[in-house]
Structure 1
Amino acid sequence: LGLETQIHVQVPVSDGLVVECNSGGWFPQPQMEWRNSRGEVVPYSSKSYSQDGARLFHMKMTLLLRNLSESIMCCLQPCKRGREINKYHPS
């Protein structure tokens, strides 16, 4: 079915935060997308995938989050398994 979806917030950049979503161990390859708190799809900055020796898919997707007060969720279709980042404010 797939491994846990992990979200990492990288060091803040001048115009926002780089947020990365990783998941692996999937077959077939699921669709991966970012969604905001209203459930709307948010365009990703980059997306990549690989397939291991067991033919399982591993995906990575990044997003430059400019609105730091907005919640964002990384979803794998079906979106029920999505993970959400709540509001994040750099110190």
Structure 2
Amino acid sequence: MAKSAIDMFTKCMATELGPKGIRVNSVNDDPIAPYPWDPNNTPNDPFVELAPKIPVKRVAVSDDLAFAVLLLAAPESTFITGTNMLVDGGYTVAGL
């Protein structure tokens, strides 16, 4: 499913399920290494060239996404719904 479709689905479900006390959010990523990533140990890795272009100077790893999900699932986040959290280290705002 395209990210724009997920974004709209999230908003529609949040609107529909909110009155029942159900929160709906999504976490979008771009780019993410599909394995433990270390720029010093992976010289032929395509992420080595990409990482310096990202504002935080690295690619995401699974823990980055897990913490975003944890934040949205936390009891303190009960007023957050219909949100599409972008976890990309500034990749999108940098125009990459």
What TM-score comes out, normalization by structure 2 length?
Answer: 0.29
Mark the structure with the bigger radius of gyration.
2
Q: Which has the higher helix share?
A: 2
* Structure with the higher fraction of residues in strand conformation: 1
TM-score, normalised to structure 1, is 0.30
